[in-house]
Amino acid sequence: MGAGNHTGGSQFLLLGLSEDPELQPLLFGAFLIMYLVAVLGNLLIILTIGSDAHLHTPMYFFLSNLSSVDVCFTSTTIPKMLVNIHAQSKDISYGGCLTQVYFFMIFAGMDNFLLTIMAYDRYVAICHPLNYMAIMNPQLCVLLVLMSWFTMFWASLLHLLLIMRLNFPMGTQIPHFFCDLPPLLKVASSDTHVNSIVLYVATALLGVFPVTGILFSYSQIVSSLLRMSSATNKCKAFSTCGSHLCMVSLYYGTSLVEYLSFTLTHSSHGSMVASVMYTVVTPMLNPFIYSLRNKDVKGSLGRLLSREPPGP
């Protein structure tokens, strides 16, 4: 079959992290463990926040949403990878590939937006503590999350519709362990000029602006901390930002490495390693970062596991 639009039965080939047969059992075991830890850890965070009324605040509302997105984010790519390793197959259908691209973009974008919203939440809490509950009211919190979902739904749909215009030869090899947009555009047999322009514009709008928002929020937070005279208040304020800063560093650091690896060096191996970090490792570490660095979550988690009722 020549180049052309694929039907539901046509397939791509995901080359994966390694073609060495001896490494496949090791990769399967490592990714299965990381996937289970990521899913169970984030579900435990959601359950902990939902079961303790003391954690029903804007900060933990956004954290529970982030954990929910992380469960979906890692579930978009890893189960298919595990199935392929176990079946000793590289196949993914045309429809399965497009579905993976679509949901991957949605959940990656939601991570991006939620981290930005959480930075704004910390900015209001530290710089405007007296007006915090008035500003971060439940209506605004829900609106911010819904707007993020709405934006990513339509942005991802636009990319999907543009991909459906492209042609791919039967058995097209994708040098990745899942269907991601840049590698998919690279292997298309038709002109991807429009797709690339839309991708760069979307990256600028949906990537640069949130990062700018995070940097602005933390510049105001640092300025506010420097004006505080009490060392105790400084430590308390910074401790509320520590977990979020760790998550931001992990997510954007690995995303930047993947982007630079793909666009500057065209190294698929470097890009895949960075992808593993922010699609699997970061969602896996987020529950530990928040539970180990946050005494409120640790206390609620301890009560949940010991089945003690929340304090008054």
pLDDT value of residue 269: 64
pTM for the predicted model, two decimal places: 0.87
pLDDT value of residue 293: 64
Locate all alpha helices (DSSP H) within 4-137, ordered by sequence: 24-51, 58-87, 94-127, 132-135
Q: Residue 6's Cα: distance from chain center in Å?
A: 29
Specify the range with the lowest mean pLDDT, choosing from 81-85, 228-232, 279-283: 228-232
Handedness of CA 176, 180, 181, 182 (dihedral sign): negative
CA distance 300 to 306: 10
Range of the domain at 221: 11-306
Q: Is residue 1 part of a domain?
A: no
Q: Is residue 312 part of a domain?
A: no
pLDDT at 143 over 50: yes
Q: Is residue 18 part of a domain?
A: yes
Q: Is residue 98 part of a domain?
A: yes
Q: Is residue 212 part of a domain?
A: yes
Average pLDDT, the chain: 84
CA distance 116 to 94: 33
Q: Is residue 204 part of a domain?
A: yes
- What band does 7 get if pLDDT is binned at 50, 70 and 90? very low
Specify the range with the lowest mean pLDDT, choosing from 110-119, 156-165, 218-227, 269-278: 269-278
Please give the angle made by the CA atoms of 117, 118 and 124, to the nearest 5 degrees: 90
Which residues, listed in sequence order, are joined to residue 92 by a DSSP beta bridge? 12
CA distance 11 to 8: 8
Q: Is residue 23 part of a domain?
A: yes
CA distance 165 to 167: 7
Decide which of 268 and 237 is more confident.
237
pLDDT at 104 over 90: yes
Question: How many CA atoms does the CB half-sphere of 265 hold within 13 Å?
Answer: 12
Question: How many CA atoms does the CB half-sphere of 18 hold within 13 Å?
Answer: 11
Total domains in the fold of the chain: 1
Residue 78: give its domain's CATH number: 1.20.1070.10
Q: Where are any strands of DSSP class E within 101-244? A: 172-174
**Any idea how long the chain is?**
312
Q: Is residue 167 part of a domain?
A: yes
Helix (H) / strand (E) containing 301 = helix 295-306
